[in-house]
Amino acid sequence: MTEATGKYGLPLDVVFCKKCTMNNQRPSSTVEFLQKEGEKKRTLAFGEDGICEACKYAEMKKTINWDDRHQELVELCDRFRRNDGRYDVIIPGSGGKDSVQAAHVLKYKYNMNPILITWPPAIYTDIGRRNFDAWLNAGFANYTYHQNKKLHRFLTKNAFLNLGHPFQPFMLGQKNLAPRLSVLLDIPLVIFGENEAEYGNAIEDNEKPTRDPKYYSAKLNIKDLVLGGVPAEELIDKHQFKLSDLEAYFPVSPYEIEKTKTEVHYLGYYMKWHPQETYYYSVENSDFMPNDHRTEGSFSKYSSLDDKIDWLHYHTTTIKFGIGRATYDSAQEIRNGDITRDEGVALIKRFDGEFPKQYIEDCCRYMSIDLQKYHDTIEKFRSPHLWEKKYGIWTLKQPIWKENNIS
């Protein structure tokens, strides 16, 4: 009997959205601190009309009354604004275009008093470090949490070896640190920029202004927690890390969240979020700079620039899900009306899935593995229903350009 799903629980038949370039292999957001090897993924849903939920939500956004949303944001800020000189909102980020715009808009348009919170990249790129400094120079104070470097390196390596997911330790801190510091600093409002759920989660996840607490708060025993595919208990008992070192990666206690009355919002709910316009805003208001060359695997020069591990992340998504950086970027730009679907398909054929040669040596050195170990590891995570080897070269069985008869 043929199994109904492929590796990671992915649908065996690849179906492309009729409006954008995304397909039904795209996984939805995961509760990272529970992720184990072999976890089955929920994937992007499609309607009977062949349109993905991300495109449907993009169309729904066109009917939103943004004046009403602006008023909701005014009321939110009025509810949390402090007039005694204390900070009243936490803006998480590392100086990318989204966090730059969020911080600047809230401080200078809505008269809030933001403190910036940064969970730094494992390996900063030169342009990432430069943009982080420019962000602070635009008039902001910042708390940066410098992880236990030995632990973070260990988790990055094991997340890659066990899950094919070297970006997981960064994502854990990115989601958990701001709510945790909200409790510690008694600043109950946290505002992220855009809601990543717009691009692959269920539509209902986007119909509220707040982040689902399941991604950053949980009442769990340490026996339930897994980091980098390694049980937390094993990290302490076998690998000799301390609970105090691990805590920053853990979800925040719901009791602590309730005590502070912490709320985690998305500015993208209240403002129409457009990546290109966000880029232009950031350039104008913080001296944000794009790269002087396109990012490997894509055509973009201004997205996800700060962490060298990000290059590996998109290479592993190509191996596991057949979806690389150009697919993610083109689908978003099609929904925003910046390029056509045919243009997106051509960009994917040209750039998607490129090997991350610019930073591969730095990343392997960081994880204490050699290049052969990297290649051997990614083969463990390759989805056989998506890939086939022809003349010694791995190729996608069902690439989007074949569906569209582009030679």
Task: List b or e across 123-160, with b for residues whose CB sees 16 or more CB atoms inside 10 angstroms.
Answer: bbbebbebbbebbbebebebeeeebbeebbbbbbbbbb
- Structural contact between residues 21 and 344, judged by C-beta atoms closer than 8 angstroms: yes
Distance CA 130, CA 95 (A): 9
CB-count exposure of residue 8 (10 Å: 0-12, 13-18, 19+): middle
Long-range CB contacts (within 8 A, 24+) of 370-379: 377/160, 377/161, 377/164, 378/164, 378/315, 378/316, 378/319
CA–CA gap between residue 355 and residue 396 (Å, rounded): 15
Cα gap 262→277, rounded to integer Å? 30
SS3 label, residue 383: coil
Joined together, the tokens standing for residue 223 give 């026996």
Alpha-carbon gap, residue 276 to 41, rounded angstroms: 30
- Cα separation, 161 vs 168, in Å, equals 12
Q: What is the CATH number of domain 66-270?
A: 3.40.50
C-beta neighbour count of 370 within 10 angstroms: 12
- Alpha carbon of 255 to those of 45, 134, 212, 305: distances in Å? 34, 37, 16, 36
Distance of alpha carbon 176 from alpha carbon 156, whole angstroms: 17
Distance (Å, whole) CA 152 – CA 35: 17
Nearest-angstrom CA–CA distance, 128 and 194: 19
Collect all residues with Cβ–Cβ distance below 8 Å to 325 and sequence separation of at least 6. Answer: 295, 296, 297, 298, 300, 304, 314, 351, 352
Angle at 343 between CA 337 and CA 345, to 5 degrees: 115
In degrees and rounded to multiples of 5, residue 230 shows phi and psi of: -115, 125
d(CA 166, CA 162): 9
What pTM, to 2 d.p., does this model score? 0.93
Number of Cβ atoms within 10 Å of the Cβ of 261: 10
What does the pLDDT profile of the chain (407 residues) look like in tens digits? 345 788 988 999 999 999 999 999 998 877 666 666 667 778 888 999 999 999 999 999 999 999 999 999 999 999 999 999 899 999 999 999 999 999 999 999 999 999 999 999 999 999 999 999 999 999 999 999 999 999 999 999 999 999 999 999 999 998 899 999 999 999 999 999 988 767 766 677 778 899 888 888 888 788 888 999 999 999 999 999 999 999 999 999 999 999 999 999 999 999 998 888 999 999 999 999 998 889 999 999 888 889 999 999 999 999 999 999 999 999 999 999 999 999 999 999 999 999 999 999 999 999 999 999 999 999 999 999 999 999 989 999 999 998 755 44
Q: Please choose, from the candidates 11, 67, 89, the residue with its C-alpha nearest in 3D space to the C-alpha of residue 323.
A: 11
